Structure 1
Amino acid sequence: MQTCRAFLNALARNGARAAVALLVALLCALQAWALWRAPPAWLPATIKVMLAPGESVTLGRHELAAPQADPAHVLLRRDASGAWMLTNLSPSRQVVLQNEGGERRMGSATVQDMRAFQINDRRFTIEQSSTGSVAFSMAGQHWRYDGATLYRDGQLQPPCPDARLGARLMAHWNRWAPALLTVPHPLTFGGNLHCANRLGLPDVTPGAARLAREDGQLVLSAGNPDGAPAAVQALRDGESADLRRQEVPLASVRAIIVGHTRFSLAIAGNELAMTPSRRIALYSMPQARLPAAVEWRWQLRDLWHGDGDRIVAATLAVGAAGLCLVFAIRIAASLAARLASRFAARFSTRFAAPIAARRAGRFVPDTRSLAATGIHWRTAPQWWSVSCLLAGGAAALVLQRAGHPPSAASALLLACCALAMGLLAPGRLSPPFAAAVILLAAGLLAQLELGLGADESSWLRYYQKSAAMLAVGTALATACRLAMGSLASHLRQRGVEWLLMLLAAVALAALAAQVLWGDETGVFDLQPVELAKLALTALTAHCLALRFGWQRGPHDSPGRAMRWLQLAAPALLFLALLGLALVQVDDYSPLILLLVWSTSMALAYAAAARNGKLAAALALLVLAVIAAIAWLRLAGTDDLIRWGFYADRFLVWLNPAEHPHTGQQLLLGARAIADGGWWGADHLSGLRTLGQPLGAVLRIPAVQDDFAPSFFLNRHGLAAGLLLWTVQAAFVTGIAVTAAQRLAAADAARHHRAAWAGRWAYFALCGGAAFTLGHFLLSWGTNLAIFPIMGQPMSFLSAGGSHLLFFLCPLLALVGASAPSSEI
């Protein structure tokens, strides 16, 4: 009976694992099918402009195949001597020039060597200038600007009436911080109001010109006002240059960026060859109406071959060959061991004494060396595959950053290898981990559909970046799980604390770098806030685990003051995240995300401490928030006008039809969801339109990020959306169940270290599940108009490489390491 029950349990476990693997393989096969069915798309490989001396031509969005450019963006001409000259005609979008010395924007000039500058008829005389500050005067008033703060006659200006709390905090910081630590804040000209970093000029549109710190220098540039642009002139030694009509020679320019499309330049006599890269318009046929001076050389978009395919394929091939070699050695070693055992059994009679001594317990083999040898042979193939997958993912990221990305087929191969490693990772395949692998495969499919169906070449970069990030993250997570077994017995609690403090220091430094050199989209193409969320979760879990071990800990535990100092460390990180949300981000979604996380961690603490009063208070708080949202939905908009801070977000949420401009995302997203219905826009759950053009759904702002659920429901329908919700709920619930099991194991542990490890895993899993749940709630609430518009990507589905690499993959590693005894 027991044998039959064990057989049925093993069959159920293997059947569940096979079902998960089959579903993931099906989603990967759909990605390959989408690649195969993608229609041909044409784009210009080279744009040639042929001009004789004295001739000129106007180029814009159509002639340059640059979707983000203006209809008439630049003017190319040749002067009498035959030199090529470039003029920016766009009133709102600048052109970037790249040469050996770096890059600079047209329509801008450094103020260090200026005598004066003029905005319309207002002339400003520069009294003193350096790389870090400038002093100027106009109409008897003296101004000084240091790249962060504007002083009027030696005094700070009052804050603007519409300034948000974040802007006020940043201004207060810049007032007292050293010059090296100040946050760059541009000075804008125009309008009738003198406040903060605004210099009012009557009859001049606000933002008509700006003075900002860029690359360590103060740069004056023509702004992008909502109204009529103003003439901005730079005066040097009696010479005047209109920044809006600035004309530059192209002799030393290697590349230009027009509307986010980069063009490499090559001049040969009467011909200028421009090679476009990134964000190029795609055409269904190699035909376009062009001016007589412009000629295109067409090329077909290649989804199966890319510049970096050989490097990625070589790393994966080496990994596969190494795996085959290691497995062959293991099989040969196993056969040799069996032959040796049979040979020893035949001649056992000659060695009766050693056998009798061994049975009597006098002879004890060296189990340590055998165990070490077994562990080495068992993990060698896994370490080899981890290193090769990590090399392939890193190479793909570097190549994409260098402008030579691997093809979509190589990205698909990387993604399949990463998903396979996740399924075949050492240890138990727990239910939340299986749900995560399914969500990853579904998200990659949605991103590939978005890249193939867009009318611009750059949309595929989201899928390629996510696949590379997944490969790197999966390899690192698997390496951590492999090393955890050998390091667990050697790493003490003090060493863990040092590692956590190092992680927190790196996260704080990354947040500071984003404040100093980045914006709300991140810094250096990364989002440090994701690493900060991971550090906050890990550090908070450690401190709460210590809090429960105060009475049960060892006798040499730190005193009460040191304990509270340890508990204050996550509070500092929380305050840093809160400050970043207030200063750097334009919406309040990070505040809501932190509120969800804080409430969930308090509830986890109440459950661990068995504090029913605290749990009931938190439940009442959640119910009150739900009631407040319902009241806001029903109360109307009369009382919201006087809020001032985020009133526009609530007004758009309550009455999007009355705010068609700011409510564009909500209206277009709702229309896309309605068009999808239950079975998708093609009435076949999106199978009929795999890889085909997308149409109007591309007009949704941030459709690859915040509004990715609207795209998914449009393509695959509400039925597929319900399946996605089910898998997401299984992921969060599975993490919560795993955390509860770790807490139970910690309560039953007899050693302080084992109890601390169990409680740390409990709180870390709860924190990770809380952040993921917050992303799910905010994203679905935004797309379904349950909450006001808030910008948060959906975990696993949206194109968020930093969120995948710095948060989800470490969370999955922790889930895999904390898997319960029941496996699938």
Structure 2
Amino acid sequence: MRATAPLRTAHPPRPSAAQSLGAMLATVSRAAFRHSGLALTLALLAALAALQALALLRAPAAWLPAEITIQLARGESIVLGQRELAAPQTDRQHLALRRDGGGRWTIRNLSGARQVVLLRDGGDQRLGSAPLHELRRFQIDGAMFALRSADARAATFTRDGHAWRYDGAVLYRDGVQQADCPDAHLATRALSVWNRVMPLALTIARPLSFGGNLYCDNRLGLAQVTPGAAQIARINGRLQLLAGNPDGDRAAVLVTDGAGQTDLRTQEASLDGVSALMIGHTRLQITIDGDQLRLRPSRHVKLFSDPDQRLPEQVRWTWQQRTLWHGDHMDAVWIGLIICAASMSGSVVVRVAANRRHRQTNQVRRPDARKAGTTVARAAASSGAARLASATAASPLAALPAGVAATALLLTGVTALIAQRAGYAPSAAASLLIGATALLMWLALPGRLTLATAAGAVLLAAGLLAQLELGLGAPESSWLRYYQKSAAMLAIGAGLGGMARLWMQHRSARGAHLRQHTIEWLLALFAVVALAALAAQVLWGDETGVFDLQPVELAKLALTALSAHCLALRFHWHSGPQRLADHGARWLRLIAPALLFLALLGLALVQVDDFSPLILLLVWSTGMGLAYAVAARNRVLSTGLTALALLAVVAIAWLRMSGTDDLIRWGFYADRFLVWLNPAEHPHTGQQLLLGARAIGEGGWFGADHWFGLRALGQPAGAAVQIPAVQDDFAASFFLNRHGLLGGLLLWLTQAAFLIGIVLTAAHALRVGAVARNFRHAWQGRFRYFMLCGGGAFVLGHFLLSWGTNLAIFPIMGQPMSFLSAGGSHLLFFLCPLLTLIAISAPSSEGV
């Protein structure tokens, strides 16, 4: 028997280096093709981040005074202004500093239009003002008033046999509130009625004005005295008498107290115990050392191209260079960014591994699926993404890196925002990394990348670039704060949104859902919070907000959520409670959208000086009506709303061509239309429109530098920075000036893609709700549909108003452009929740 040799297994030849490289490139190419949308989005974000870094690299050196030293001998004095203080909001001769024979320093305000505030440990003191409770009498020109009583709540004084009482909001003459002025607008009359019927704690503070020939409302007429020559107002909880008005017309205001008689126009205050003074928006810390007084300016400080400035011999500056790449007390920010980046990388690795195991499992099961039939195979393939998402969300280990990344990003954003408010703002480079990390968070979390999410991320990156260019190009140190604040707000919003997405995925994987009753009470609580925030703005704020926030943005989100809930229930109303008492309780909760709508309408009429909120609410109402018409398949309603929208376009065109003759008779907001139609005839009030048009004209098609703004990165912004509210309402004018009309066209296309993406995601949610087999799934789909339509309508309204204002299509109306303007509240309270909802509502798909 012949022995046989054992069989040898033939090993395939080892591939060469070129073959390995080719296989790797082929794998990368297939992955890039499979995720072409993600690859394109990442490329655009990387390009915009690189442009921000290039702007920082090309920014020229800028210098500002770190300390201003003033040296005076006893008995000497000096006049300081914008040149000596480097404060942009000061006059040429603003302050008079004097050192008396005893060596004490005193200060006097020489400006008739700008206040000077002294900050002491016991409170604030405004130069040119006096607390009423410390006075015995006061005189305005030749009119003498005797004080009967005065405290923090009210003051009573007499003149010519009449007794006047003022409580900070209402002026009473002999115990009777004065009638409204003949020229009072509807908002002023409504405010007067509110103050009359409400308790003192709920009244809206309004100053008492002296001068003029009318006794009406809060005006106390004085013959041959300029209107507003003196005022009494509630400031920091105290009633104070103020000399002069914002226009600079000042009458002699003599006050008599225990120390004698003083003219508030020439009021001189001691600097003993004063820690800082505020001139405009510039804060100057004060340190006194014998014959030297040191001022450390902060916040709004003028920048110089070189450390050389001609100053009086008593004034000396210590220069410092503006820093863009490093900042103080930023260790916590860097640690948070490192943790966030590492956790996002770990999350991506976990998802890739889960994706690979999922594909291997599908390859093993594919023969069995083919045997079972084509229908089963298609069903298995279509549900593969959902099984992968459920498996990833159900595993705590898989969700842990993403949760750590979202938490670290949230804490980093909060730390950066608090540091900025405390005067230790992060550097521009740190803000660049914070913003880039926040944008990557939207893409790194599990879920399908939709058109709306990709376009939103690109718009956010473009907005950050524009804000950085404006901050680097402005001649003040404070303009970078808009960029730093937006980056911090974006990090907070992305962190909260990421945590909400992970929480929703975790609960969905476990099959845990909130009860409908609980959801309704949560929405009602949301409405209460929004109404309370609006009330706080009316009571303690103004049209710019309250406590550096804009509650109206939160109210818009609450209004959209409550309206979406009501409209979603409209299709399954009879599937809810059956008892009459339960229906009554539900009606009480569902009436919240109407209350919020009325509150926003009242705020627009009373608190805001233009009618842009009314137009915004009109656009939102039309969008929600169209969304309901589509969902209910009501062609009559959709046709009617479309006809109304076309009629509005025709009305705007008619106003543009009809002229100003008929508008002169209008009493409400007529000046807005007059400035819009003929800005050259109103050079003062039309300055914003004229400067914006000039900036757009300078930009042309290719930008002011003829290179789409690439050569101007980091360079001075020129005259465009002088446009009022250029960082907010007129941000589009600066963008067109810097990047040209072609750059604006790309921005318009991206904005259109974002709105189209919202519509597509909303349509998917509506289809999901229509085919659902239970009440909860149907309500959820329709709620997301109406919520997305309402949010998209508000964004569309912002786009229309902002572009219309900047391009003179509409009268001047103050609304920021979403994503582009430096609106922290709009970004945090509206855009970030909307992007989170878009990501949650996106159809399931295989992760990266």
Q: TM-score range by the shorter chain?
A: over 0.9
Q: What letter matches 2:411 in structure 1? A: A
What's the counterpart of residue 555 of structure 2? 532
Q: Give 1:551 shift.
A: 3.2
Query: What CA deviation, in whole Å up to 9, does each residue of 1:472-498 have, x standing for no partner?
Result: 000001111110123352311122112
What's the counterpart of residue 759 of structure 2? 736
Is 1:380 paired with 2:400? yes
Is 1:448 paired with 2:471? no
Change (3 A) 1:334 1:481: closer
**TM-score after normalising by structure 1:** 0.92
1:602-681 aligned within 5 A: 602-681=625-704
What's the counterpart of residue 163 of structure 2? 142
CA contact (8 A) 2:215 2:221 kept: yes
Report the Cα distance in structure 2 between the residues aligned to 1:674 and 1:27, rounded to whole angstroms: 25
Equivalent residue of 2:124, what SS? strand
Report the Cα distance in structure 2 between the residues aligned to 1:478 and 1:725, rounded to whole angstroms: 28
Report the Cα distance in structure 1 between the residues aligned to 2:578 and 2:180, rounded to whole angstroms: 55
Report the Cα distance in structure 2 between the residues aligned to 1:552 and 1:518, rounded to whole angstroms: 44
Q: Give 1:333 shift.
A: 13
Q: Give 1:559 shift.
A: 5.1
Q: Give 1:201 shift.
A: 1.3
Change (3 A) 1:332 1:676: closer
The one of 464, 473, 486 equivalent to 2:484 is 464
Report the Cα distance in structure 2 between the residues aligned to 1:235 and 1:218, rounded to whole angstroms: 16
Report the Cα distance in structure 1 between the residues aligned to 2:328 and 2:211, rounded to whole angstroms: 48
What's the counterpart of residue 20 of structure 2? none
Is 1:157 paired with 2:181? no
Q: What letter matches 1:160 in structure 2? A: C
The one of 539, 546, 559 equivalent to 1:516 is 539
Report the Cα distance in structure 1 between the residues aligned to 2:586 and 2:491, rounded to whole angstroms: 39
Is 1:223 paired with 2:244? yes
Change (3 A) 1:321 1:637: closer
Q: What letter matches 2:681 in structure 1? A: E
Q: Give 1:241 shift.
A: 1.8
The one of 74, 87, 90 equivalent to 1:66 is 87
Report the Cα distance in structure 2 between the residues aligned to 1:140 and 1:330, rounded to whole angstroms: 84
What's the counterpart of residue 420 of structure 1? 440
Equivalent residue of 2:531, what SS? helix
CA contact (8 A) 1:429 1:823 kept: no
CA contact (8 A) 2:351 2:392 kept: no
Equivalent residue of 1:691, what SS? coil
The one of 576, 579, 595 equivalent to 1:572 is 595
CA contact (8 A) 2:347 2:398 kept: no
Equivalent residue of 2:664, what SS? coil
Report the Cα distance in structure 1 between the residues aligned to 2:672 and 2:726, rounded to whole angstroms: 18
The one of 438, 450, 458 equivalent to 1:438 is 458
Q: Give 1:822 shift.
A: 6.4
What's the counterpart of residue 272 of structure 1? 293
Q: Give 1:439 shift.
A: 0.1
Q: Give 1:743 shift.
A: 1.1
Which piece of structure 1 moves more, 151-160 or 671-680? 151-160
What's the counterpart of residue 727 of structure 1? 750
The one of 718, 731, 737 equivalent to 1:695 is 718
Q: Percent identity?
A: 61
Q: What letter matches 1:89 in structure 2? A: L
CA contact (8 A) 1:447 1:799 kept: yes
Query: What CA deviation, in whole Å up to 9, does each residue of 1:301-332 have, x standing for no partner?
Result: 01011123222112222334556788999999
Report the Cα distance in structure 2 between the residues aligned to 1:770 and 1:446, rounded to whole angstroms: 24
Q: Give 1:502 shift.
A: 1.7
Equivalent residue of 1:254, what SS? strand
What's the counterpart of residue 327 of structure 2? 306
CA contact (8 A) 1:70 1:259 kept: no
What's the counterpart of residue 798 of structure 1? 821
The one of 509, 525, 531 equivalent to 1:502 is 525
Which piece of structure 1 moves more, 502-511 or 645-654? 502-511
What's the counterpart of residue 494 of structure 2? 474
Report the Cα distance in structure 2 between the residues aligned to 1:575 and 1:765, rounded to whole angstroms: 22
Report the Cα distance in structure 2 between the residues aligned to 1:331 and 1:811, rounded to whole angstroms: 27
Report the Cα distance in structure 1 between the residues aligned to 2:460 and 2:692, rounded to whole angstroms: 23
The one of 739, 755, 763 equivalent to 2:786 is 763
1:252-271 aligned within 5 A: 252-271=273-292
CA contact (8 A) 1:600 1:766 kept: yes
What's the counterpart of residue 32 of structure 1? 53
Q: What letter matches 1:250 in structure 2? A: L
The one of 622, 645, 652 equivalent to 1:599 is 622
CA contact (8 A) 2:82 2:88 kept: yes
Q: What letter matches 2:517 in structure 1? A: R
CA contact (8 A) 2:211 2:221 kept: yes
Change (3 A) 1:300 1:498: same
Which piece of structure 1 moves more, 307-316 or 801-810? 307-316
**TM-score after normalising by structure 2:** 0.90
What's the counterpart of residue 400 of structure 1? 420
Q: Give 1:237 shift.
A: 3.5
Is 1:485 paired with 2:505? yes
Report the Cα distance in structure 1 between the residues aligned to 2:729 and 2:507, rounded to whole angstroms: 39
Equivalent residue of 2:119, what SS? strand
Q: What letter matches 2:808 in structure 1? A: A
Report the Cα distance in structure 1 between the residues aligned to 2:677 and 2:831, rounded to whole angstroms: 33
Equivalent residue of 1:112, what SS? helix
Q: What letter matches 1:799 in structure 2? A: A
Q: What letter matches 2:480 in structure 1? A: L
CA-based RMSD: 2.4
The one of 202, 207, 215 equivalent to 2:228 is 207
Q: What letter matches 2:461 in structure 1? A: A
Is 1:810 paired with 2:833? yes
The one of 706, 709, 712 equivalent to 1:686 is 709
Query: What CA deviation, in whole Å up to 9, does each residue of 1:178-206 have, x standing for no partner?
Result: 11111111111111111111111122111
Is 1:86 paired with 2:130? no
Report the Cα distance in structure 1 between the residues aligned to 2:708 and 2:355, rounded to whole angstroms: 49
Q: Give 1:633 shift.
A: 0.7
Q: Give 1:58 shift.
A: 0.5
Report the Cα distance in structure 2 between the residues aligned to 1:526 and 1:186, rounded to whole angstroms: 24
Q: What letter matches 1:404 in structure 2? A: Y
Change (3 A) 1:621 1:757: same
Q: What letter matches 1:695 in structure 2? A: G
The one of 171, 178, 187 equivalent to 1:166 is 187
Q: What letter matches 1:481 in structure 2? A: R
Q: Which runs of 5+ in 2 are unaligned?
A: 1-27, 358-386
Report the Cα distance in structure 1 between the residues aligned to 2:496 and 2:393, rounded to whole angstroms: 24
Query: What CA deviation, in whole Å up to 9, does each residue of 1:355-375 have, x standing for no partner?
Result: xxxxxxxxxxxx9xx969952
Change (3 A) 1:297 1:737: same
Report the Cα distance in structure 1 between the residues aligned to 2:625 and 2:206, rounded to whole angstroms: 37
CA contact (8 A) 1:133 1:218 kept: yes
Equivalent residue of 1:240, what SS? strand
Report the Cα distance in structure 1 between the residues aligned to 2:400 and 2:417, rounded to whole angstroms: 26
Report the Cα distance in structure 1 between the residues aligned to 2:339 and 2:761, rounded to whole angstroms: 37
Change (3 A) 1:212 1:291: same
The one of 405, 411, 414 equivalent to 1:391 is 411
Equivalent residue of 1:641, what SS? helix
CA contact (8 A) 1:554 1:752 kept: no
Q: What letter matches 1:625 in structure 2? A: A
What's the counterpart of residue 361 of structure 1? none
Q: What letter matches 1:492 in structure 2? A: R
Q: Give 1:820 shift.
A: 2.6
CA contact (8 A) 2:447 2:845 kept: no
Change (3 A) 1:174 1:811: same
Change (3 A) 1:615 1:328: closer
Q: What letter matches 2:220 in structure 1? A: L
